[in-house]
Amino acid sequence: MLSARQIIPLPEAQDYLVRRRRKEQEHETARQQPTEGSWDIYGTQLPAERVAIARELYDRVTRYVDDHELPWTPALRSWWLGYKRSGGYYVTTIGLRVEKPIEYAVKLPSSPERLGLQNPYPHLGTRWDETVRQWTWLIPTIDQVPDVAPAIDISRKYQPDKGPMKAA
């Protein structure tokens, strides 16, 4: 005669294993979510001049968004901040790194060269990141914070009303 019964894991341990798996999933989900940032946090992580540069850039982007009555929402994360349009798609970002200058960037569907764009800030160091389709400028000092309008104007030409930006 055969009898079927669960012995491993013990029935008492099953509840524990389910709770443990849920907790691991919650930790993984939390790890993947971007950490919120704030100006107070930035002040503890970055030199004062870098915080001043980031704040000035952010204020200029905010004025642009307000002046143009754009429905974009701000996002402050632990190592970057910016504005995103409907659907959570970023248009402009400000990178915050301890070891690097502040970075100001806009999203584009393809490289500036391929799109035939002129650099609105030739006096600043720049780079194109194909993986995130982002045109970035390095802002080393507060005196070099540019007018953000030319870069945002360029990016807005390629931003759809909804959904992801199509690669060009």
> Who contacts 124 (Cβ-Cβ below 8 Å, separation ≥6)?
137, 138, 139, 144, 146
DSSP-derived letter for residue 34 is P
| Total Cβ atoms within 10 A of residue 61 | 25
pLDDT-derived band at 166 (thresholds 50, 70, 90) equals: confident
How far apart (Å, rounded) are the C-alpha atoms in residues 40 and 1? 71
- What is the residue extent of each domain of the chain? 39-156
Q: Between 99 and 140, name the one with better pLDDT.
A: 140
Q: Is the pLDDT of residue 44 over 90?
A: yes
Side chain identity, residue 137:
W
CATH 3.90.1150 fits 39-156, yes or no: yes
Q: What is the pTM of this model?
A: 0.78
> Who contacts 157 (Cβ-Cβ below 8 Å, separation ≥6)?
none
Which tokens hold the place of 134? 């982002």
Among residues 134, 130, 125, 131, the alpha carbon closest in space to that of 154 is found at 134
pLDDT digits (tens, 9 = 90+) for 51-108: 999 999 999 999 999 999 999 999 999 889 999 999 889 999 999 988 889 999 999 9
How far apart (Å, rounded) are the C-alpha atoms in residues 93 and 61? 9
The per-residue pLDDT for 36 is: 86
